[in-house]
Structure 1
Amino acid sequence: MIVLGRNFVRTHLTHQDTIPLMRRAMMALSRGETIQPLRSILRMEAGRMFGVMPGALGPRGVFGAKLVSVFPGNAEQDLQSHQGGILLFEPEAGRPVALVHAGEVTAIRTAAASAAATDALARRGASRLAVLGCGEQGAAHIEAISKIRTLSEVTVWGRSFERTQAFARRMGERTGHAVEAVEQARDAVANADIVCTVTSSADPVLLGSWLAPGTHVNLVGSSYAGPVEVDHDLVANSRFFADHREGVLAQGAEFLAAREAGLIDDSHVVGEIGQVYAGSLTGRETPDQVTVYKSLGHVVQDLASAQHLYERALEEGVQASEF
């Protein structure tokens, strides 16, 4: 079995590679070609969680599981919030062939999936990006979105203005974009064409009334039923897409909260992003429409990434260990 650590993942799983990987994985999911039960989440104290995500890329494709802990407080210790591994099995004899660093894959594939959705749903000329949240996903989303749109403006907001300023400086140096830190979330999104919410907040940090017509929003930070990053108004007045309909109906916190408030029903989920990629579902209908992509993250994304990395490892002659 080959063990692929964080540095290998960071080097060989680029956004340029991962964005098309995510498109293909999500189209396969929407076509029913993959096998993916709902994830199992063990909730612990202080917002800590442990998740088990099994799946297969088709009945004869690679299969496996991601085992991952989520510790929100890790950011204060300069550690990734997601810790764990993706165990990849080959389909011929059912052998485990690779163990891949789950935290780094999660960081890259989540942002790449948002970028693919943004490419499909945002207006062609969208160039002003606002990111709410200054952690690892904030950084990854700026990098990924810049691969599918030419960004003229990047604005970031976080709960600590001092940390937001430091984040903006780092991202400006890393990407070459002018990244501006602001003290109020409302100011960050006022002129944005694209908004990404990547916080760990339990309560809304973004209100629908703040958005300009035609904005596209990626809801990313909440990955289970409970914490909500946006208010009911934004959900109810948007064209709302799921990464996976079954997952959002069961675990999409913002959708569930708006439904519980009686503002929408299940039909408000227009469909899955994979259907938009395949051309079987219309994405944006009008220039002034607010579109939303709800990201929960799915094991097919992890498995597609792990398979790509395993194949690269074989090409480079990475040695396997006995298992």
Structure 2
Amino acid sequence: MDKIIQIDDHFIEKNTHFPELIKQLKYNFSDRKVMVPLRHHHDFPNPTTNKDSTLLLMPAWNPGNDAGIKIATVSPDNGRFNLPSINGTYIYLNATKGTIKAILEAKALTVKRTAAASALASSYLSREDSNSLLMIGTGALSTNLIKAHASVRPIENVFVWGRDYKKAQNICNQLSDEAFTITPIKSIKEKISEVAIISSATLSESPLVLGKYLSAGQHIDLVGAYKKDMREADNDTILRASVFIDTYEGGLKESGDIVIPLENGIIQESDIKADLFELCSNTKNGRVNSKEITVFKSVGHALQDLTAASYYYKKYLNA
């Protein structure tokens, strides 16, 4: 049996070129050869924090080529232990032999593929001249979302908001050498009406993006709120926007941003314009005019993980 390769977060961080990863995601979403069952989503009690943790099992396979599964946990109160909320491992397999090709640390893999998917959606949904971005949230995803969006749009000005202003300042310090200007802000209201793109990646249980503040032509990228009782955008946002999701299987069932409006009759399933499979295969349109407000809701998909695992595996072999 071949030696199992270990690919750590450091390697993934140092060997990510977002345009390459986005291009590969676009190909796999349009090609439709990767087979993905609905992910296992299990909440379990966490008596130490009195807030449930979540176990996610995300398998995918490309018959005759490769396969894999991500095992991830989400523990919202991990900040008290000085640990990230999301932890996990990706097992990358030979789909013919069933042998393990590599084990990848899933933290960096997840944030990279998630950011790349949001940028891929933005390439269809945001205005081509989008030059400003508001980042809501200061977790591990924030720096990656900013860089990924900047790889597909001419971003010149970035604003960062977090519940902890010092964390927002830290994000800005980390990205101070990038081509864009980046500034921490103390309230979302300061900039939400002015920017071209709003990206939100939080564990908020109540809306942070309020439709009453939105302006014509904006694109809203909703990445957090991974459970049915969580929301990052209010009903007014959903009603004012053309809504797109990463996949129908997950997007219609897993996040409160879509589930709650559906259950309350605010929108119908038929109001969802398209998913990434349809956008990437050009079977449905993205943005149709410059004044349209668009929303993309991401819940994550195992195709993204398998795509990223293959991308980093090849990078490792060629290093």
- TM-score (norm. length: structure 2): 0.92
1:54 aligns to 2:72 (yes or no): no
Q: 2:102 aligns with which of 92, 98, 105?
A: 98
Shift of 1:168: 2.4
Q: 1:134 aligns with which of 134, 138, 146?
A: 138
Q: Deviations over 1:59-106 (max 9, x none)?
A: 333112100112233446553332111111112211111111111101
Matched, 1:297 2:300: yes
Amino acid at match of 2:191: A
| Cα deviation, residue 152, structure 1 | 2.0
Query: Which residue number corresponds to residue 80 of structure 1?
Result: 84
**Aligned pairs, number:** 311
Quote the Cα distance in structure 1 between the aligned partners of 2:129 and 2:80. Answer: 37
Q: Structure 2 CA distance, aligned partners of 1:75 and 1:14?
A: 29
- Where does residue 145 of structure 1 map in the other structure? 149
Q: Would the alpha carbon gap of residues 294 and 151 (structure 1) be closer, same or farther in structure 2, given more than 3 Å must change?
A: same
Q: Which amino acid aligns with 2:192?
A: V
Q: Could you say which structure has the greater relative contact order, defined with CA pairs below 8 angstroms and 6 or more residues apart?
A: 1
**Counterpart in the other structure of 1:121:** 125
Q: Which residue number corresponds to residue 243 of structure 1?
A: 246
Residue 131 of structure 1 aligns with an amino acid whose one-letter code is: M
Who is 1:109 aligned against? Answer: 113
Compared CA separation, residues 241 and 166, structure 1 to 2 (3 A): same
Q: CA deviation at 1:312?
A: 2.3
Identity fraction in percent:
26
Per-residue displacement from partner, 1:38-66 (whole Å, max 9, x unpaired)? Answer: 11122233242221111113x33311210
State the one-letter code of the partner of 1:226: D
Q: Which residue of 1 aligns with 2:212?
A: 209
Which deviates more from structure 2 when the two are superposed, residues 273-282 or residues 230-239? 273-282
Distance of 1:183 and 1:297 partners within structure 2:
29
Say what the alpha-carbon RMSD is for the aligned residues.
1.7
2:318 alignment partner, one of 294, 315, 320: 315
Post-superposition shift, 1:179?
1.3
* Cα distance in 2 between the residues matched to 1:260 and 1:294: 17
Report if aligned partners of 1:13, 1:305 keep a CA contact under 8 Å in 2: no
**Which AA in structure 2 matches 1:274?**
F
Q: Which has the higher helix share?
A: 1
For the residues of structure 1 that align with 2:79 and 2:108, how far apart are their CA atoms? 14
Cα drift, residue 176 of structure 1: 4.2
SS at match of 1:72: coil
Per the alignment, residue 40 of structure 1 pairs with 40
Q: How does 1:225-304 map to 2 (within 5 A)?
A: 225-304=228-307
Unpaired runs of at least 5, structure 1: 317-323
SS of the equivalent of 1:36 reads coil
d(CA) in 1 for partners of 2:24 and 2:78? 29
Query: Matches of 1:106 and 1:236 in 2, distance apart?
Result: 30
Q: C-alpha displacement at 1:24, in angstroms?
A: 1.8
CA distance in 2, matches of 1:204, 1:47: 20
Offset, 1:303 = 0.6
What do residues 223-269 of structure 1 show as CA deviations (whole Å, max 9, x unaligned)? 23221111011112211111101211111321111112211111011
Alignment partner, residue 89 of structure 1: 93
Q: Does 1:14 align with 2:22?
A: no
Q: Give the alignment's TM-score, normalised by structure 1.
A: 0.91
* CA displacement at 1:272 relative to structure 2: 1.0
